[in-house]
Structure 1
C-alpha cells in the first residue's frame, strides 16, 4: 500500500496545555478582541470580548469546583448550539473535566446509555423537557450527582455557589491539564448499533484546528478583516466542536444559532454577515434550491439557469488552469461571467450577507457540479473529510490547488493509505485514544498505529482523495454486483424536488431507491404547474408530472454509473426521514437498517411491480432481461 502525505502548508506549533488555554491566552494577549457575538434581538448582535469570555469561564469553573467536579470527572452537555455551550465546555476543560456531548433530540434510551456508559457526574440540559428525560433515567445512574438546567437559572446559581473559590485555584487546575489528557467523550452516530464513546484528547482536538489555521486562516476573510463565523451545526457532533475550536483558537468572531429553520438562518446571514461558512452538503444544496426557487417565482428562472451554467463553465476553466491543464476562461466566457456577476451573482451573495468569501463542506462529499456553481459565483467551497475518531478534519483542499469532487489531500502531519479492499486508513496526531469501555472495538479499528475508518475511497495520481462510500453500506445485488449507494444518493439530492434518497438492492435483482421530496420546492413546483392553465384533472396531471421529474433525476444519476449499477426502480415516500421518526441519527445520517425495516412492504411491492411489468414485456419479447427493462422499472412508483 502506498502512503500519502502532504508537506505544505506549515505545521502549527505543538500544543503545550489544554483547550481552555486559548481563551485565557487571548484574554492576556488581546483582552478587547471580540470572540463571541450574542444576539440581543432579532437583528442586533452584542460582542463579547476575550476578557469578558474568560471572566465568565472562570466564574463557571469556580462553580463546578464548588460542586465537587474534579479533574477526570465527566459532565454531559445536552443542549443546542448556543453561547452557553461554549462557556460551559471551556469552563469544564479549565478544571480538567471531560465533556460528554449529547444531542438534545436524543431518546430516553440513548440518554440513559450515554450517561451510564460515560459514568457522568453531572449533566447540563437546556430546558424542562431535557430535565424530564434525564430525570426519568436517574434511578439507574448512581454516579450522576448534578443536573443543571439552562433556562431556570442554574448557571447563575452555579456562579453564585463558586463565588468563594479563589481564582488561583482555577489557574492551578488549568495548568496541570496535559495535551494528552482526555477532553471529550464523543459518541458515534450509532447508525448500526449502540453509539460508541470516542475518547478525544486536547491535543487531538487542537491538532486539525491549528493546522488549518496555520495554512488556511487567510482564506476565511479579506485581509485586515476579522473572520466571522455563524455556528449552527450541532456542537454535539465533532464537526461542530471543530468549528468552535477554530474560532476560539483562531481569534474568529463566532455567533451561535440553535434554530436551523430556513427563515431564521436567512435572517442571521443578513444581520450577522459572516465572512465564512461551515456546513454540510445538505446546507449548500438547500441554499442552491432556494436561489432557484426565488428566481423562478420572480420570473427569472431561465436567466438563473443560464447564469448557473456560466458559473460552472467559468469555475471549470479556472480549475483546469490552476491544475495546469488549460489556459483559463476565454474572452467570451469572461464576458458572460461579468454580465451575470452584475445581474445575478452579487445578488446571490448579498442574500448571504454580502461578505461570504468562502466555505467548507464536511460530513459527506459535496457534489462536484454544486461546488463548481458556488465557485463560479464567488464563494469557493472547500470540501474536506474527517470523522469522530479523528477529532474532525484529516484532509483539506490545498490553497490554490483545489480539485472539486474530491476531499483534498491529507493535512500536514497526517498519513493516509487505501487498503486493497478500498478502505481508507489514517495515522496522525488527531486519531482518537480509543472507545471507552470497549477494548475489542478499539483493537478492531486501531491496527499498528493506523485507524481503519470504515470509509471506501481512492487517491488519484496527484494525491487527492475521493470518498465513494462506507464499507458496511456496500450493496450486493442478487447478481453479485457491488454498489456504493452514497454517490447515487448525492446525485439524486441535487435535483430541486428531491430532499432525501436511500439506495437499496441487497439480494435484489437490481438497484432501487426510496425517495422523499423537498416540501418547500414541491409547493413552489405545484403552483408553477397549475399556473399553466391546464384544465385537466390536477391529481392525475400532478402525479404524472411529478413522476416524470423524478424519472429525469434518476436518469441523470444513472448516466454516471454502469448499467448494472443504475437505479432501475424507485418509490416516492409520503414523509421525510427525520430524527423524530428514528430514521436519521441526531447528526442527520441515514439509519439505513431502520429505513429498510420501516419500508419493507413498500420495497417488496416496488420490486414485485417491476417483475410483473417485466413479465408482461417478456411475453412480447422472450429475450428481454432485467437489463432491457429500464424504462419499465423507472415508471414504478
Structure 2
C-alpha cells in the first residue's frame, strides 16, 4: 500500500436527523425562499416557497404518513422524477424517522419488484398511472407493501387531509428522537455487473459531505450578497442528485425542480429560473457543448465558434499554470483575443445557461480536461469531484485557488484516500455507508481493514490531487497481454459531436476495438450540411463514405491521447443507441458492458474477422499486440 493522504480538520458532527436543518431554518429565517415551483406546465414564472411554508408542508405530510401507519424504521420507496413533491416527501419521511428508498423512474418492472422486495418497503410513492400499473403487477409478491401513493392523483392532499387531526407536536416529537446514525436512505447501486445492492446511508453520512462542502465552498454558489439558486434536474434516485437536494436545504439555497431530462426542457428551465450554480454530469456538459457547436454551425459561425473554443481552452490553461505556480498566465495577445470572444461568443453561451452561472460541479464520472478548460475559459468554472453511492456522495473537491483540470481535486476534510498496489482507490470517511442491506458478507468484502475498496482505479500526484483512470472491472486485456483502461478512450470519442456513445472492447483480442453510436440530432444537422451530387444511390454512397471518414477522424483524435498499442484499430457504428429499454444501460444511464458485448458478440467477431482477412500474407507471425495490417482503424458500418 502507498501512504494515505492526510486527513484535514472535520466539521462539527451532526446531532440529529436530516429534517432538523429545515425546521431550524424555518425558526431562524422563516421568510427565506427555499423552493421554487413553476406556476404551470411550461411556465416561465416560478413561485417561491419560504422556509416556514416548506416546513409546514413537510409537517402536514408527515402527519398524514403517521396517520397511515408509517413508523420509524419503515422503508418507503419513491419512484418518481425530480419534482417538488420528491423533496417534500423525503423530508416528511425523515421527520418521522422512516427510510427513503429511491427508485429510478426508468426502472423496469423486474427492477422495481426486486428493490421493493429486497428493501421490504411498506409503501411506495409513484408519479403516474403507468407507475401504479407497474407496482400493481408485482404487489402479489410483496407482502410488506401496504401503500401506493400516486402524486398525479392527489396523494399529497389525501395524506394531508388524513393527518389533519394530529397536532404539530406529534411530528416535532418524532423528529427530535431521530438519531444521526439512524438509516435515512437505502440507495441501490447501478448494477452494471450483477444485481444492484442496497446501500444503507445514515443521516450522519448524508450530512457529512454536504456540511463539509458548505463550510469550504458555500460562498462560491452565488456572488456576495445574493442567495444561491440551483436547478435540480438530475435524478434524486442517484446519490449525487440527493446530495444536491440536501446541500440546498442545509445551505439555504433556492432550489427549483425540472423533471424532464430533455435538452429543450432543461434549456427552458435554465433561461427562466436563472440559477447561480450549475451541477451536472459529464454527459450533460458534453451535450451542452455540442449544442453550442451545432447552433453556431447552423448560423454559419461554426469556424468562429471553434476558434473561440480553442482560445477558451488556451486561456484557461494559462490561468491554471499561473495559479499552480508554473507560469505567468495569459499573454497580451491571448488576453486580447479572449476579450474579443467574450463579447462575441462567450457571453451568448453564458446567457444560454441563464446568464448568472459562474461556477459548476461535475460528478458521476470523470470530466475530460479539454471540456473542463473550455467551460473555465468561457467563464463557467467547473469543479470536478468524486464520490460513490457507498460514500453518500462527495469524497473530493477542487481546492479554491488551486484547481487542476483533469483531476477530481483533493480529499475533502475528514476524508482519507490511498491507493492499493494495483491502483485501486481505497477510502475512509465519515460518510461511509452502514453496509449492504441483507448482505454482511458483501459488506465485509468491500471493507478490508475499515477502508472501502471502491473498484475505481486512479493515481494521486505529488500535490495529492486524485485522477480517476477507470473501473477495475472494466480493464481490457488484449491477447498480447496489454492492459487498457477504456474510460479515457471513450471519453475522447464522445467529444466528437457526431459520437453519442462509445464502448471500447478487446478482451482476448489482438487489438482494441470500439462500438460507436451516433448522436441523432447532430447527425441530422451534419447531413443537412452536405452538398452531394449525382442520383440517389450515388449520393447515399458518398454520404456513407463521408460519414465513415468523419468517424475515423474521431477515432484518430481519441487515439492521439494513448500509446499505439492502446489505440483503437477497429470499430463499428451501430444502428441504434444503447438504452435502458434494450437493457444495455442501467436506470442511472451507465453502460452494461457485459450485456453490450454479449448482445453484439456476432458484430464484434465480424469486426475483427474482417480486419484479420486484410493481413498481408507475408507477415503471418506479426506480434499479436501490433499485427501488420492493423495500422488504420477498420471502417465498418452496420445496417
For residue 340 of structure 2, what is the aligned residue in structure 1?
339
For residue 48 of structure 2, what is the aligned residue in structure 1?
47
Where 1:529 maps in the other structure, the secondary structure is: coil
Task: Identify the range of structure 1 (534-543 vs 95-104) with the bigger mean alpha-carbon deviation.
Answer: 534-543
Whole-Å separation in 1 of the counterparts to 2:462 and 2:533:
55
Tell me the CA shift for residue 284 of structure 1: 0.3
Tell me the CA shift for residue 112 of structure 1: 1.0
User: Do 2:23 and 2:55's aligned partners in 1 also have CA atoms closer than 8 Å?
Assistant: yes
For residue 36 of structure 2, what is the aligned residue in structure 1?
37
Gapped regions of structure 2 (runs ≥ 5)? none
Alignment of 1:542-561 (within 5 A): 542-561=543-562
Tell me the CA shift for residue 329 of structure 1: 0.4
User: Do 1:405 and 1:466's aligned partners in 2 also have CA atoms closer than 8 Å?
Assistant: yes
Whole-Å separation in 2 of the counterparts to 1:27 and 1:636:
62
Alignment of 1:578-597 (within 5 A): 578-597=579-598
For residue 630 of structure 1, what is the aligned residue in structure 2?
630
User: Do 1:5 and 1:412's aligned partners in 2 also have CA atoms closer than 8 Å?
Assistant: no
Tell me the CA shift for residue 478 of structure 1: 1.3
For residue 457 of structure 2, what is the aligned residue in structure 1?
456
In the alignment, does 2:119 pair up with 1:118?
Answer: yes
Whole-Å separation in 2 of the counterparts to 1:135 and 1:210:
39
For residue 170 of structure 1, what is the aligned residue in structure 2?
171
User: Do 1:569 and 1:607's aligned partners in 2 also have CA atoms closer than 8 Å?
Assistant: yes
Tell me the CA shift for residue 535 of structure 1: 7.2
Where 1:23 maps in the other structure, the secondary structure is: helix
Whole-Å separation in 1 of the counterparts to 2:420 and 2:622:
39
Q: Deviations over 1:46-97 (max 9, x none)?
A: 0011000000000000001001111000000000000000000000000000
Where 1:243 maps in the other structure, the secondary structure is: helix
Tell me the CA shift for residue 624 of structure 1: 5.7
Number of matched pairs: 632
Q: Give the aligned CA root-mean-square deviation in angstroms.
A: 1.4
Whole-Å separation in 2 of the counterparts to 1:368 and 1:630:
29
Q: Deviations over 1:20-69 (max 9, x none)?
A: 01110110111010111100132110001100000000000000100111
Tell me the CA shift for residue 6 of structure 1: 5.7
Normalised by the length of structure 2, the TM-score is 0.97
Whole-Å separation in 2 of the counterparts to 1:534 and 1:560:
39
Tell me the CA shift for residue 347 of structure 1: 0.8
User: Do 1:78 and 1:104's aligned partners in 2 also have CA atoms closer than 8 Å?
Assistant: yes
User: Do 1:183 and 1:200's aligned partners in 2 also have CA atoms closer than 8 Å?
Assistant: yes
Tell me the CA shift for residue 579 of structure 1: 1.0
For residue 327 of structure 1, what is the aligned residue in structure 2?
328
Where 2:330 maps in the other structure, the secondary structure is: coil
Whole-Å separation in 2 of the counterparts to 1:479 and 1:422:
21
Where 2:530 maps in the other structure, the secondary structure is: helix
User: Do 1:458 and 1:465's aligned partners in 2 also have CA atoms closer than 8 Å?
Assistant: yes
Whole-Å separation in 1 of the counterparts to 2:586 and 2:276:
30
Alignment of 1:11-410 (within 5 A): 11-41=10-40, 42-410=43-411
The runs of at least 4 consecutive aligned structure 1 residues that moved more than 3 Å come to 2-8, 532-536, 620-628, 630-633
User: Do 2:573 and 2:636's aligned partners in 1 also have CA atoms closer than 8 Å?
Assistant: no
User: Do 1:81 and 1:258's aligned partners in 2 also have CA atoms closer than 8 Å?
Assistant: yes
User: Do 1:11 and 1:214's aligned partners in 2 also have CA atoms closer than 8 Å?
Assistant: no
Tell me the CA shift for residue 13 of structure 1: 2.1
User: Do 1:4 and 1:410's aligned partners in 2 also have CA atoms closer than 8 Å?
Assistant: no
Whole-Å separation in 2 of the counterparts to 1:309 and 1:426:
37
Tell me the CA shift for residue 533 of structure 1: 6.0
User: Do 1:5 and 1:413's aligned partners in 2 also have CA atoms closer than 8 Å?
Assistant: no
Where 1:630 maps in the other structure, the secondary structure is: coil
User: Do 1:96 and 1:173's aligned partners in 2 also have CA atoms closer than 8 Å?
Assistant: yes
Gapped regions of structure 1 (runs ≥ 5)? none
Tell me the CA shift for residue 12 of structure 1: 2.6
